Structure 1
Amino acid sequence: MGIGVASVATGCLGLTETNENVVLDEPDRKTESSDLPYPAWNEKIPDVTLPKPLTTQETVTLRNVDKPRLVEFFYSHCQTVCPVLTSTMRNIQTHSLNNGYGDQIEFFPITFDPERDDAKRLSTYADEMNINTDAKNWQFLRPKSKDRAKSVITDKFGFKFSRTHPENMDMYMFAHMPLILLVNADDYVERAYTSKSPDAEKIISNLKTIRNA
Structure 2
Amino acid sequence: MDRRTYLRSVTAVTGVTATAATAGCLGALGSSGAEGTVLGPPERDLSEAAHPSYGDEMPNFTVPDPLTGEEITVADYEGERAVLWTSFYTHCPDGVCPALILRLRRAQAAAAEGEYGDELSLLPLTFDPERDTAEVLREYAGQQGVDLDAGNWHFLRPESYEAGQSLMEENFGLVIEKTEADQYENLEYRFPHYGLILLANKQGIVERAYPRGPQTDIESLVDDVERVVTA
TM (norm. structure 2) is 0.79
Tell me the residue number matched to 2:83. Answer: 69
Letter matched to residue 189 of structure 2 = Y
Letter matched to residue 209 of structure 1 = R
Q: Does the residue aligned with 2:199 lie in a helix, a strand or coil?
A: strand
Q: Does the residue aligned with 1:147 lie in a helix, a strand or coil?
A: helix
- 1:157 matched to 2:169: no
Q: Is the Cα–Cα contact under 8 Å of residues 34 and 54 in structure 2 kept in the other structure?
A: no
Q: Does the residue aligned with 1:72 lie in a helix, a strand or coil?
A: strand
Q: 2:71 aligns with which of 50, 59, 67?
A: 59
**Aligned counterparts, 1:165-184, within 5 A:** 165-166=180-181, 170-184=187-201
Q: 1:47 aligns with which of 60, 78, 84?
A: 60
**Aligned counterparts, 1:22-101, within 5 A:** 22-29=37-44, 31-33=45-47, 35-56=48-69, 58-66=70-78, 67-80=81-94, 81-101=96-116
Structure 1 CA distance for aligned equivalents of residues 88 and 205 of structure 2:
21
Structure 1 CA distance for aligned equivalents of residues 200 and 43 of structure 2:
18
Identity of aligned residues (%): 36
Structure-2 change in CA distance of 1:171 and 1:208 (3 Å): same
Structure 2 CA distance for aligned equivalents of residues 40 and 188 of structure 1:
9
Structure 2 CA distance for aligned equivalents of residues 60 and 88 of structure 1:
21
Report the Cα offset of residue 93 of structure 1.
Answer: 0.8
Q: Does the residue aligned with 1:116 lie in a helix, a strand or coil?
A: coil
Structure 1 CA distance for aligned equivalents of residues 46 and 190 of structure 2:
31
- 1:116 matched to 2:128: no
Q: Does the residue aligned with 2:123 lie in a helix, a strand or coil?
A: strand
**Deviations 1:118-156 (CA, angstroms, capped at 9, x unpaired):** 111101111111111111110100110011001101222
Letter matched to residue 90 of structure 2 = S
What's the C-alpha RMSD, in Å, of the aligned pairs?
2.0
Number of residue pairs the alignment of both structures matches: 196
Structure 2: which 5+ residue stretches go unaligned?
Answer: 1-29
- 1:143 matched to 2:158: yes
Q: Is the Cα–Cα contact under 8 Å of residues 45 and 189 in structure 1 kept in the other structure?
A: yes
Letter matched to residue 205 of structure 1 = D
Letter matched to residue 206 of structure 1 = D
Letter matched to residue 26 of structure 1 = P
Q: Is the Cα–Cα contact under 8 Å of residues 33 and 41 in structure 2 kept in the other structure?
A: no
Q: 1:199 aligns with which of 199, 204, 217?
A: 217
Structure 2 CA distance for aligned equivalents of residues 170 and 38 of structure 1:
29
TM (norm. structure 1) is 0.85
Structure 1 CA distance for aligned equivalents of residues 107 and 71 of structure 2:
23
Structure 2 CA distance for aligned equivalents of residues 27 and 17 of structure 1:
12
Letter matched to residue 75 of structure 1 = Y
